[in-house]
Chains A and B, each alone.
Chain A
């Protein structure tokens, strides 16, 4: 497994982190992972919701030092 593609969306507000994640997901291959870094609590809830809706996998979602790390695997 390759290292996840990191998307640094710290400081951006909804729906910035989600849109940046989606743009990155379009560039990676199926099975690859993208991790978005966000300081926006709303996005920490919204991004997993979007992943579930469109059928990608949420690998992990945790907060560390005020930053949310939301890692997703492209499923299709």
Chain B
């Protein structure tokens, strides 16, 4: 795995969010510098009061993740930040479109980041999209 991993997370589906959170948490605690860039439908779970909203299942795996005792993706993102020092940034465009203020966002989040800045800062990173 690369030393620097950037995850672009836009999907609101349970499977995509779970996989992104797994990559973020395991990567971060294994010595990889992990940055997560949240946008589109992935953003809503990071608004106060919406953390545990049911994520729609894209298929069979999503239903099984919900049914079995898989760690919740929000718990894994929190552990990525707390235990591994992962930086999780909301997309500034998404914040503007949603009309949310800084205090409305989950405290695990870093300040909003623009796409231009993100692409500039992570041009040397391995970038994965979810």
Contact = CB atoms under 8 A, between A and B. Distances in A.
Interface of A: 11-16, 18-19, 22-23, 26, 46, 50, 53-54
A12 B69 contact: yes
B30 interface: yes
B83 A50 contact: no
Contacts, number: 40
A22 B70 contact: no
Contacts of A18: 26, 29
A-B pairs, top 7 by smallest CB distance, nearest first, are A16-B71, A13-B70, A19-B79, A11-B69, A15-B26, A22-B83, A22-B29
A12 B71 contact: yes
A15 B25 contact: yes
B31 A13 contact: no
A53 B31 contact: yes
A50 B69 CA distance: 22
Nearest to B71: A16
Contacts of A14: 22
Question: Of residues B31, B70, B71, which shows the largest number of chain A Cβ atoms within 10 Å of its Cβ?
Answer: B71
A53 B84 CA distance: 14
Contact of B29 (A11, A16, A50): A50
